Amino acid sequence: MSHMNDFSQRVVAWYDAHGRKHLPWQQQRTPYRVWISEIMLQQTQVNTVIPYYERFMQRFPDVLSLADAQLDEVMHYWSGLGYYARARNMHQAAQQIRDRYQGLFPDTFEQVCELPGIGRSTAGAILSLACQQRHAILDGNVKRVLARYFIIEGWPGVTKTADQLWEKAEQLTPLQDVAKYNQAMMDIGSGICTRTKPGCSLCPVNDTCQANVQHRQKEFPHRKPKETLPVRKTTMVLLRNANDDILLQRRPPAGIWGGLLAFPEIPANQAIDQWCNTRLGITILQQVVWPEIRHTFSHFHLDITPIVIETRSNPDRVMDQGEWVWYKGENETLGGLAAPVKRLIRELEKQRA
């Protein structure tokens, strides 16, 4: 066990000398502030997160302001960060904290893990960083550090490998200075023990890291077995009204881009003029088919054919339904925009200019 103590002591000493201490969520630490940062940092780099985090905190400074907000507005502030289920879960969790815990962030591990969108590692991070409780964490960066240090075989997405990594993470987490230790492990993983070209000479535990000693850093952690992603195709309608507003449709809450604003999609077996007539009650003056663009999700590619439509009439059927929105520019439209939709809107605006 002394080896384990030595590891955590070195990591904490490294943090005192070199760790990050000036990130926005490290100031006035509360479980709420740490929680929002942890969710934003899933799948997203620190430098990308900082401006989003600061804007989000200005608008939603505490659990109640987030819980009481409309989901559309939350999505609007999240727009561009991707993986939108994170924002929907966060909004739901805030409402549960308001309704079950009188707006006070719960402070037991089990209660925190029950909240939507919070798993074992995120709960551990919130309670260790904000409440000094002793919990291990295992985000992507920490997995990489431990997989190399102990040369743990197997892709971390497999249960057997993940269990081994958790066991090591639990053993190494110290009784004191747990917030410093966990923050240091994340910092070492993101700044030193990087996926490619790790800076092993800067690492506080480099002399006992088995991958470093054996020059096998490149092998660990094992990569996910390659699989070819299936391709789906869709046609999107880019329609402007006489005022130059762009017609968008709110996606259903579940599924890809759940709750976001996107262009309407035409079913594969329907002609576009027929769809515009029956669905919107308009006649097409002119249509231009743009080149296909590809958007890649974690589990499939989506090939989008955009069709730009001109019409003189305003679609009368879409005026009073909650699912349709006239986009007048980002600041005036509440609700998040899916990434390829943003890209196509920019293209439309460029062409108009």
**Active site positions, annotated:** 38
Structure tokens that stand for 294 in this block: 């590809």
Diameter of the chain measured on Cα atoms: 78
Q: Residue 56 is encoded by which pair of tokens?
A: 């989000």
Closest C-alpha among 297, 340, 258, 250 to residue 91: 258
Cβ–Cβ < 8 Å for 120, 84: no
CA–CA separation, 281 vs 318, rounded Å?
9
> Which residues are CB-contacts of 27 (< 8 A; sequence separation ≥ 6)?
none
Cβ(352)–Cβ(271) below 8 Å: no
* Residue spans of alpha helices (H) in 42-84: 46-59, 63-68, 71-78
CA-to-CA distance for 236 and 340, rounded, in angstroms?
11
Strand segments, DSSP code E, in the chain are 231-239, 246-250, 261-262, 265-266, 286-289, 293-296, 301-310, 324-327
Contact 245, 326 (CB under 8 A): yes
- CA dist 32 and 155 (Å) reads 32
**Dist. CA 3–CA 208, nearest whole Å:** 10
CA angle 203, 122, 260 (to 5 degrees): 120
